[in-house]
């Protein structure tokens, strides 16, 4: 079975998931050496989602978050109709002051491009990519 890794970028300290050894940080573009330490590994994309979210979460709330995430594991749906890059750009436009994203913003974007994709699936994808991080109040923070 293919292994997934979570690595922490030495430049911006954000964690992201990767199927192979990381080559470039999706947050700051830093080229990552093959010696970049792996902070966690996962056996599946779903598990990776959890490990990345946990790695980017303050220690104090990690246990609580893990329980919540593991309870809601669902298979991931690939983004198909509109390219992820375009969706991401639209979401960034939609994000409010300080890069805060609400679920409604994502729904607006999906409606705009007439995508039948579920807002939660898109948010999951962005979380895996290390683009956003879930906040405790139910909104998301843009990391880029």
Give the interface with Zn ion as residue ranges (CB under 5 A). Answer: 9, 11-12, 25, 27-28, 30
Question: Min. distance of Cβ 64 from Zn ion in angstroms?
Answer: 26
Question: Min. distance of Cβ 33 from Zn ion in angstroms?
Answer: 12
Question: Min. distance of Cβ 16 from Zn ion in angstroms?
Answer: 8
Which residue spans within the chain are E strands per DSSP?
A: 4-8, 15-18, 38-42, 100-101, 132-134, 140-142
Question: Min. distance of Cβ 52 from Zn ion in angstroms?
Answer: 13
> Would you say 40 or 110 has its CB closer to Zn ion?
40
User: 66: which residues sit within 8 A by CB, 6+ positions away?
Assistant: 50, 54
Say if residue 12 is exposed, middle or buried (CB neighbours under 10 Å; 0-12, 13-18, 19+). middle
> Would you say 13 or 68 has its CB closer to Zn ion?
13
> Would you say 29 or 96 has its CB closer to Zn ion?
29
Between CA 105 and CA 93 the distance in angstroms is 10
> Would you say 15 or 109 has its CB closer to Zn ion?
15
How many angstroms from the chain centroid is the CA of residue 35?
A: 23
Report which DSSP code applies to 59: G
């Amino acid at each position: 079975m293919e292994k997934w890794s979570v690595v922490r970028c030495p430049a911006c300290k954000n964690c992201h998931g990767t199927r192979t050894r990381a080559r470039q940080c999706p947050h700051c573009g830093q080229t990552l050496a093959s010696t970049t330490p792996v902070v966690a590994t996962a056996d599946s994309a779903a598990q990776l989602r959890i490990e990345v979210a946990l790695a980017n979460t303050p220690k104090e709330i990690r246990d609580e978050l893990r329980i919540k995430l593991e309870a809601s594991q669902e298979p991931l749906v690939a983004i198909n109709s509109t390219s992820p890059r375009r969706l991401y750009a639209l979401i960034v436009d939609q994000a409010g002051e300080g890069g805060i994203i609400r679920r409604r913003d994502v729904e607006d974007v999906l409606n705009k491009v007439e995508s039948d994709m579920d807002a939660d699936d898109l948010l999951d994808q962005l979380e895996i990519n290390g683009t956003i991080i879930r906040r405790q109040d139910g909104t998301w923070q843009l990391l880029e």
